[in-house]
Amino acid sequence: MANRGGLGRGLGALLGETAGEVHAQERDAAVTELPVASIEPNPNQPRKHFDEDELRSLADSIRQNGLLQPIVVRTQPTGYQIVAGERRWQAARLIGLERVPVIIREVSDDEILQLALIENLQREDLSPLEEAAGYAALINQHGITQTELASLLSKSRSAISNTLRLLDLPAEVQDLVRDGSLSAGHARAILTVSGEEGRCALARKVVAEGLSVRQTEILGPLFSVKTQSAPARHEVAPQSYKHAANQLRDRLSAKVSVKTVRGKHKIEIEFGDEQELERLVTTILGGTDARS
């Protein structure tokens, strides 16, 4: 099981910063500058999408005021890896900064995902699916239980569980959540539908008609009902049909049925093998060879 030592230390202790600013003593003691080119992003960063408009806005602010909050990094054999602050690093690259202020921390592989996830959650930077994927990574890769994760993030266990369930959505529905067409509330309502086909159908209806979360919740049970094809309805055949069947049965020496199904009339003749089929065809054609 992975080492959970970082769980008790907290984001502030490991990063030396609050959600909005660097601690004064940490800033004075540990801030240095590094070349932007020597820093690489964390491949396990929970946040996968950075809004281009927000990046440009941050880049403009950095251009005018400088990078006021250092990026937190850890040492790597090839240079440095971002622990927290990838959005600031992206914006700095956007305006061509050559060097940026950083705080260097010795952070283990077990801790870095935890810290990246917590940082993004504190800043509300993650989409619902990114949040769910981050939770799953912490649980699956680092041996953290849902209860421990709830305590770490100051959330209820049910909130963690409900967010993780978003990963059970079909890919089509996840794409709609990812691009903002569906909210997390819509997604949770769609999860009440059993079966992938029903979930996709409800999601399409919600997007097409702009339904609210409450309307989606009401419709959920209707899309959970599995539609089954109605059994064929056999109508009572007239007496003349029965008489005709008896005549054919006598003539062909075979079992014959005359039926009416959904308004259509059918004659069914049973046979056992290929030879019997040839005999029936020959009899019906009045003695003509069935193979001619």
Enumerate the active-site residues: 86
Q: Which two tokens stand for residue 241?
A: 């049909």
How many Cα atoms occupy the beta-carbon half-sphere of 194 within 13 Å?
6
Kindly list the distances between the CA atom of residue 138 and the CA atoms of 23, 134, 252, in Å, as whole numbers in the listed order: 27, 6, 75
Tell me 287's DSSP state. Answer: S
Residue 189, exposed/middle/buried by CB under 10 A (0-12, 13-18, 19+)?
A: buried
Numbers of helices and strands, H then E, in the chain: 14, 8
* Burial of residue 234 (number of CB atoms within 10 Å: 0-12, 13-18, 19+): exposed
* Structure tokens belonging to residue 13: 């202790």
Looking up tokens 């997390």, which residue turns up?
184
In the sheet that 79-84 helps form, which strands lie side by side, from edge to edge?
31-35, 99-104, 71-76, 79-84, 39-40
How far is residue 148's CA from residue 132's CA, in Å, rounded to a whole number? Answer: 15
Residue 183, Cβ density class (10 Å: 0-12 exposed, 13-18 middle, ≥19 buried) = middle
